[in-house]
Structure 1
Amino acid sequence: MEERESTEIKIARFSSCRGVAFEIDPNRSNPFAIGSPTKQEGIGTWLWLPWTRNSSFKVLPQPHNISPTRSRVSSHFCDIDIDASDVEVEFIAEVQDIEKPDKANGVKVQKLLPKTDPPRRSRLSIILLDQGFTFYKGLFLVCMALNVVALALSAAGYFPYAKTRAALFSIGNILALTLCRSEAVLRVIFWLAVKIIGRPCVSLRIKTATTSFLQSVGGIHSSCGVSSIAWLVYSLVLTLKNKDKTSPEIIGVAFIILSLILLSSLAAFPLVRHLHHNVFERIHRFSGWMALILLWLFILLSVSYEPNSHTYHLTISKVVKKQECWFTLAITVLIIIPWLSVRKVQVSVSSPSSHTSIIKFEGGVEAGLLGRISPSPLSEWHAFGIISDGKKEHMMLAGAVGDFTKSLISTPPKHLWVRSIHFAGLPYLVNLYKRVLLVATGSGICVFLSFLLQPSKANVYLIWVAKDIELNFGREIIELVNKYSKEKVIVHDTAISGRPNVAEMSVNAAIMWNVEVVIVTSNPEGSRDVLRACKRAKIPAFGPIWDS
């Protein structure tokens, strides 16, 4: 009888909640390594659209060689990478040849030995630690430095105006942070930037610097919040040194305002905001409103107080002469403006899958804008990218990843609260450039689709990576993508073609299409990898900065 070689192999199968299942290849030293294809001139990889096998997009060569397998549907459409909390099997296996005599024939036995997987980085650590020194942090430090210098000069007696108007400097910082978060003001600024700096004669360096600044104004917002606390503390210290010139009521109101601003700032700390977003949103909103009401009371008490008689005497002439009054009036107007645009509108909600909902509204919307919707306007608001051809209607694509988005599928509403003033974000700045590569994973496609449906100043190219596209996103989204030139689109379905190296794919596509800039919308780790790869290739790139 012919002697036959037997091999004992133990295969581990993995599946993440991202929905990509794969098996370990025991023929590689690293079971998760993606092998490079044989180098052949002029040969590329063909990525097939998942909804048809009759047409394809030709793609640049990609260094992945993965056998596609299907698993359960993912509900995290923007995430194609595995997070530590999502891994169902918390080990990886390493192939080792072990000399083990087999009783039957004495041949070598190959086994897969378990190996501890290094701990995965959390999303929060990626957001806080992996971005390095950003433009956002630079603005934060510059704004903070200016305030610290002014405060130090005032305390040393070299800036007497600030010493006598410390409360005004605190209110001035609050006005600045409100301006940096006013969606109406930013909409105008973004529009002006596109009109003026988006001209062909303006250099790419100026355009990218403008994009970095507008994307990072949150750094000014955060810095002014901290600075306003510092100035208010300084004002209170000076007031307590001269208690005979003020009243206990004024001091008490000032302490309450300080407490509310401090509470609002603590709630905005990344750890709290990331883990308890609804708590942050409500504290930020209601403590801010209460502080504003008390600020008006503080100003009226301060203006009307007579130190000599210890009485209050309020006149209009006294109020209008106070700078604090005009600053506070501006803050009040800026806070009221978005609430004047709140409307309850009729909506149509459909669910192409149990993990996605499409919300439709009346009226066309300009490409690049985002919108906010809410089931209860005083408690929570949710921002989504807007998909529109600019004509009769627009819609939002929502992945079921939270209580609200899940409720859109389980109990579709007939009406929702909206803010009719849509706000501009990073996608709007696509209009600054001539040639732009847009990279999206999962439901991140929603912020870019309008550029495929409407005429744009920029020549737009798209990479979209997602799982089970037709199953999760439905025919309607597919048909919208199909309307665009197939020469400018790469669609990669991970359920069919496996998990790609999105960073490398983005760099190669940017070079192939000769784009000026890359804009990515993905999860924190995915966005970070694309931005780093583009930076190494010296290609300007922008993505979510996950700021405050």
Structure 2
Amino acid sequence: MTSTLAPASRSVRARLKRRPWTHHNRLAAAVVGVNAVLAATAGPLDPGVLARLVLGNLTLAVLIRQQLVINLLFRLATAATPRRSLRLRWTLGKVYHFGGLHVGGTLCATGWFLVLTGVLTVRGGPAALLVTTWAIAGVLAVMVVLALPRLRARRHDLFERSHRFGGWSLLVLFAVHAVLLAGAAGKPFLGSGPFWVLLVIVTSVALPWLRLRRVPVRITRPSPHVALLSFDYGVTPFAGSSTALSRNPLLAWHSFANVPAPGRAGFRLTVSRAGDWTGALIDDEPAHLWVKGIPTAGVGNIDKLFRRVVWVATGSGIGPCLPHLLSGETPARLVWSTRHPRRTYGEDLVDEILAVQPDAVVWDTDSAGKPDLVELALSAHRDFDAEAVICISNKKTTWHVVEALEARGIPAFGAIWDS
């Protein structure tokens, strides 16, 4: 394609929409800033004050990842009607950057706990308290290191397991630590502030696991690259949500966008071969999978903020787009780039898409080569008179499309791979 892109804006506002100045990082920085103010104004930081600062930040880090809280955040953010200003809706659409609060809360909780560890070590105290303190500090340090973006990307399974088993260990250790710290101060633990805070945290972590179940799944493979999973176990999720799947609930979990069909019970998922886990799933075609928790809102859920939306998808990214295209609640135009769509995804799925998107731009990369997705998105945005663009693709492409469009003044959204 011959590029006819308008130049990107060089304004301060446009620059602040690019990495590293994302809403995710701004939220993390805001949490750190609040904690810095607390550090400067809290007065003497005795163990009791430090423990409360740790628990406060830990509560934020845990609750902001709770499925019910996430769904509430999306419900509040998408309550704005199209009559509101586009700038406001553009900002509200970034609600999926809430993970910045998790990062900020975790970093600050870890920082405060390291300070608490130093204070308790210098002052001395019961051996059990000091051992528990250092154990918590060690687990927190390991979890933070494994969560560093580059290491997390390279060793995601290790990151996930460290967070699961390390997190569970921390719940026990923090409870023991709170009891010992209260005892050292001559105060009761039951009924105290830390008791209720820890109870909230434990409940938040436990809730999804209380809905753990093994459910039947029907898998069809239109090609060796893709599997279409169909579920009907009494749950019909909303468009723009995801479901976590596992073959071993204590090990790996993977989230996929739900594809409910209007007027039909159950839902589908599209899974493409993108690693060992998905490859084994496609090859093995298991009859049952594990699910937990509830359908959880994701980036696609923000389409309702806008009058008209362009969906840009590559490959199996069509899956998260499909429920919105089928429902037709928000007028949409599809731009889909993929290898030989009918051969890869099957005649039925492609026909289903074209039935609701007869004007879709379906770019076959086998015959036409790699497209300029930014230019295709700009063209569709202009021709369809859309207000926003939502991109569902791999990390590199998503960031490229979103940043290029926003640099040209177009609200654009896409996953940020923060978990």
TM normalised by structure 2 equals 0.91
CA 1:189/1:532 → structure 2, altered by over 3 Å: closer, same or farther?
closer
Query: Residues 205-284 of structure 1 correspond to what in structure 2 (within 5 A)?
Result: 205-212=87-94, 214-243=95-124, 246-284=125-163
8 Å CA contact 1:162–1:169 kept in 2: the answer is no
Q: Show the counterpart of 1:395.
A: 268
Superposition RMSD on alpha carbons, in Å? 2.0
Q: Which has the larger radius of gyration?
A: 1
| Superposition deviation, residue 146 in structure 1 | 1.5
Q: Is the 8 A contact 1:462 1:490 kept in 2?
A: yes
Q: CA deviation at 1:455?
A: 4.1
1:338 and 2:211 correspond: no
Q: State how 1:56-455 maps to structure 2 within 5 Å.
A: 131-154=19-42, 159-160=43-44, 164-194=48-78, 196-197=79-80, 199-212=81-94, 214-243=95-124, 246-305=125-184, 318-362=188-232, 363-390=235-262, 391-455=264-328
1:170 counterpart letter in structure 2: V
- Quick one: distance in 2 between partners of 1:162 and 1:300? 17
Give the whole-Å Cα distance in 2 for the aligned partners of 1:509 and 1:339.
43
Sequence identity percentage: 28
Distance 1:236 1:485, change over 3 A: closer
Matching residue within 352, 360, 363 for 1:480 = 352
Rounded Cα–Cα distance in structure 2 between residues aligned with 1:426 and 1:254: 38
Counterpart contact for 1:507–1:537, Cα < 8 Å: no
Aligned residues: 404
Structure-2 change in CA distance of 1:219 and 1:162 (3 Å): farther
Matched residue type, 1:148: A
Residue identity in the other structure for 2:33:
A
State the Cα distance separating 1:192 from its structure 2 match. Answer: 2.9
Report SS of the residue matched to 1:486. Answer: coil
Measure the CA separation in 2 of the matches of 1:516 and 1:354. 37
> C-alpha distance in 1, partners of 2:402/2:324?
21
Contact 1:504 1:533 in 2 (8 A): no
- Three-state SS of the structure 1 residue aligned to 2:356 is coil
CA deviations 1:339-365 (Å, max 9, x no partner) are 111110011111111111111101432
1:400 to 1:251, Cα distance in 2 relative to 1, 3 A: same
Structure-2 change in CA distance of 1:469 and 1:516 (3 Å): same
Alignment TM-score, normalising by the size of structure 1:
0.70
Following superposition, the deviation at residue 479 of structure 1 comes to: 2.3
Is residue 132–residue 177 contact of structure 2 (8 Å, CA) maintained in 1?
Answer: yes
Quickly say closer, same or farther: Cα 1:306–1:408, change in 2 above 3 A: closer
* Structure 2 Cα separation of the partners of residues 140 and 306 of structure 1: 33
Q: Is the 8 A contact 2:117 2:137 kept in 1?
A: no
> Residues 372 and 431 from structure 1, CA distance in 2 versus in 1: closer, same or farther, beyond 3 angstroms?
same
Taking the aligned partners of 1:420 and 1:261, their CA distance within structure 2 comes to 25
Deviations along 1:193-221, one digit per CA (max 9) or x if unpaired, are 32x32x23322222111122x22111111
- The CA deviation string for residues 451-478 of structure 1, in whole angstroms up to 9 with x for no partner, is 122241x212211110111111112321
Please state how far the C-alpha of 1:164 moved relative to its aligned partner.
4.0
Q: CA deviation at 1:321?
A: 4.1
Residue 464 (1) aligns with residue 336 (2): yes
| Native 8 Å contact 1:343 1:420 kept in 2 | no
Gaps of 5+ in 2: 6-17
Residues 408-453 of structure 1, C-alpha deviation per residue, up to 9 Å, x if partnerless?
Answer: 2221101000125011111011112211111101101100100122
Q: How far apart in 1 are the matches of 2:273 and 2:171?
A: 36
Distance 2:260 2:2 in 1: 40
The CA distance in 1 between the partners of 2:76 and 2:167, in whole Å, is 29
Deviation at 1:259, TM superposition (A): 0.9
Conservation of the 8 A alpha-carbon contact between 2:387 and 2:410: yes
In terms of fraction of residues, the more helix-rich structure is 2
CA distances 1:458-508 after superposition (whole Å, capped 9, x unpaired): 212211110111111112321220220413x21111122332111111011
